[in-house]
A and B are shown apart, each in its own frame.
Chain A
Amino acid sequence: MNWLQRLIRTARMEKELDAELRFHFETLVAEKMQAGQTEGEARRATRHQFGGLDQVKEDCRESRGTLWLVSILQDLRFGARILARSPGFSVTAIVVLALGIGVCTLAFSLYNIATLQSIPVRDPATVVRIQRRSPANITPGIPYASIAYYRDNAKSLSAVMETMGAPPLVLNQDEKRVSAAFVSSNYFSELGAAAATGRLFDAAHDDAASAPVCILSYRLWQQRLDGDPSIVGKSIRLGGKPATVIGVAREKFASLGADSPDLWLPLLQHSYFIAGSKPITDPDFEGLIAMWGRLAPGVTSAAAAQELLALTNQLRKIYPTVIWDHEYIVVTPGAHYLSFDDGPPILAYVGPLVFLILAIACANLGGLLLARGANRQREIQLRFDLGAGKIRVFRQLLTENLLLGLLGSVAALPLSYLVLRIVLAYTSAPSWMSALPDWRVFLFTTAMGFLAAILFGLLPTIQMVRRKKNRAFWHQVVVCAQVGASCVLIILAGLLVRATLHTLYSDPGFGYEQVLAIDPGMGEHGFAPAHAQAYLDQLQNRLRSVPGVTTVSVAMSPPLVNTMIMSTSIEVDGHRILIYPNWVGPDFFQTMRIPLLRGRTFHNGEKNAVIVSESLARQRWPGEDPVGKLWEKSNNVVIGVVGNTRAMELNNTDATEMYYPPAADNFPGMTVLVRAAGDPNTIMPTVKAIVASVDTGLYPTITPLTTGFRKNVAQAEQFTTIVSLLGSVAMFLAVVGLLGLVSYAVSQRTKEIAIRLAVGANRAEIFTSVLRRFAWPVFIGLASGVAITAGLSQILRRGLYGISGLDPISYIGAMALLIAILVAGAMLPIRRAFELDIARILQSE
């Protein structure tokens, strides 16, 4: 019998124990009666001889080894009664814990969904992502020629799938574009997907010449096509090209990678949908085809990577220009929303913040428990007097804490579930994602409950058991910890709010409100540089003649609407300068309203010239005139200096800019910028008509820069909202905690306060004397909070702020707010003490 069985059989064993001892007892009685005693005498004598029957039983139970479990159940029952008896304390404690644990659970659930859980595809464990690396290069894609070679020769992979993103396509005549992905014909069948209606791709679509087809996502079908039940077999136009809908994927279909496109197209029909493109036929094609594989039975990722490396070395002989030096293949788990590589940085940001909340919650509860310990002193003393051992009392109190911790976990689960549901709905997450906690979340939350119980409970419990009268030191530690942690979160929230406001309301260094960006997407359509240049010239000329258009120019990285940010850096006197390069036409600065501070802008067709931003000039050549200087080991002469912009990353003020005239290779990637004299929407129809007529094969995207600006700001706002919420939770917790501690401090000194009031002491004096011992811990807490935040902000800085990580307003504001709240929180119990009946208090002592 193991202990569990013994526990289950406890009732039977109890009965047997009783019967066994009773048998002994009765036999002794019978013996004595045989010797001539009356039954009464015999029983009395036997009882005397037997000693305490219950003590014998207890000893037997103990030797049986189930006692600890039974007594833990006892402790739990007792703990539950104690908690039920002071509902105010219990509810506060559980709410505080639920908030602390809930925030952790929420963060973990998100991490769990994104990286730990497998996406719902057939046999997710064998789905892998395959990428190429070399010491000098990192790219997510693999050229199609290589993929085809791997597919034909790799024995460690039972199947190879490809996916490729596509530029947003015009659906029929609709303004709003749809996102599409090109996939290999085995994509759906390998993932075990079924169609909601119609059918999915099969080997018949492995032919570039077959009739063009597409598969719709459930979302697109419902939202844009009204769930048309007879959609299968109908023809739609994608980027002007007709294609037959052969089916609709199920609502909960999970696509590989983090994208969930509106529709899927056969990869081999790429050049039909994107005229002029050649990802399949040209081994040098730069586009990003992602390669996925399914491991053959029993093959590990490492073995597959090994075999693919060998194949890569054979490939090098066939395509010497395509394969890099020292190229190797990385095989990673593929059936996750985000890959493990993406995980750690997010965790590194969110993890510490979330744990801070838990730490604050725990510090609070520690304080509450310390205060409560004082009220329970009498009860605990009584137990010691009745002969309870220190360990036993300690265990009982610990069990109580554990119960609280677990109740906190139980309350945290629905809380985090609700918030997660809202988050998933709000962020329009893929519909296969479920907010329901899985075993990992349960395990995590339970573990957090235990951790919290230990974090908040250990110190006060030791204090209680040791029956120390002076708990002042631990109070101070608790106050210090929670003030420090709250301080960090509130300052961070302040910094972020300020950063968002800064982004919103300060001058980005350029005028975007009246500018339209036209991205022709020539690169995807395989335009040669000369063709692209001719197109750009023609388009610009026609746009310039439109009434209401002031200037027109081109740029490689249009501000705010660019999809890719390029950056480079140089080193000057040991520190790095981050530079955003851009390739722009002569009228770019005028179009974007970036002031020319020195020198001149480019001439048409000019070469070997660069223009730098004022910040770059200042950092590179402090106190010198940069015009006429050569730029870093090149024959490019600096011809002008322009104002600073925050064009590439709105929230990064460290960046500097540098502008080159466009070289031939840049033309296919260029975007046209049009500045309107007034509201850009008024010229929109004319611009559209011109764009549509210049080249009927292209479907350029026209975006007002204000749209891009709003998108940028929305991201910053989201992050700010999250941290502000965390900050408010922290503040709430800090107030609850301090309220408890000050109440306790006041309750300890009620008599003293009463006497002082009775002899006519000044109330303000009493007030400061009660609070004096909290002054130092609050001060140390604030100081360490500031120090920690200052350190943290240097790490977070680049991604988050448009302002200095040491922005004094955020720091001083946060501290003032915290102190104000703490003082207000402290006032409450002291004011209550002042209203007490002095005579009654003095009498009761």
Chain B
Amino acid sequence: MNYLADVGALARKDLLLELRARDTLPAMLLFVVSALVVFHFVLPAGSSDLAAAGLLWIALLFTALLGLSRSFAAEREQGVIDGLVLAPSDRSAIWLGKALSILAFLVLAELIALPAFALFFEHVNGTLIGGVALADLGIAAVGTLLAAMAAASRARELLLPLLFLPLAIPIVVGGVGASVADEPVRYLGLLGLYDALFAIICWASFEYVVTE
């Protein structure tokens, strides 16, 4: 119970910070809508739906990257990560609290992005929504760990995409597959497996990322 209370307090703090500073979510919303508008004009008339689905996943992935790059800004700039690491709570609670807040930002961005996609390209079905939801879990889990690693480095803006994009390839494969394949269950299964595997790895390894 204490663990969940810690996670809740940390996630609530991130949401409160965003409510005050508004430096992550508005940027994510603007970016994802702008990207979809640009893709709408880039894609030639009569292009297949497959191409549109691919572009949606590119927009979502880079929107997530934008949010992740800001996710540890307050902890990094104000040195607060030391204060959190010193607290007696399990250090994985820091990861889980942050991952939950990133997940909330992703879901909010997608509440705008998916209707915009439907407006510009094609209708959004339940399979696509399921794929996006599963992908969000993986992005939040892996992205939070990598954002914490990158935050400790001076080359953090460069490091985060270099670490995150290769590890996001299975998410893109699963997400695009779930969006366009005739049998999406296999791809949804891939996303679920990725989420479970990386959530465990990230949960177990976060402690080593935040100590020198």
Q: Do A and B come from one complex?
A: no
**Chain A interface residues (CB < 8 Å from chain B):** none
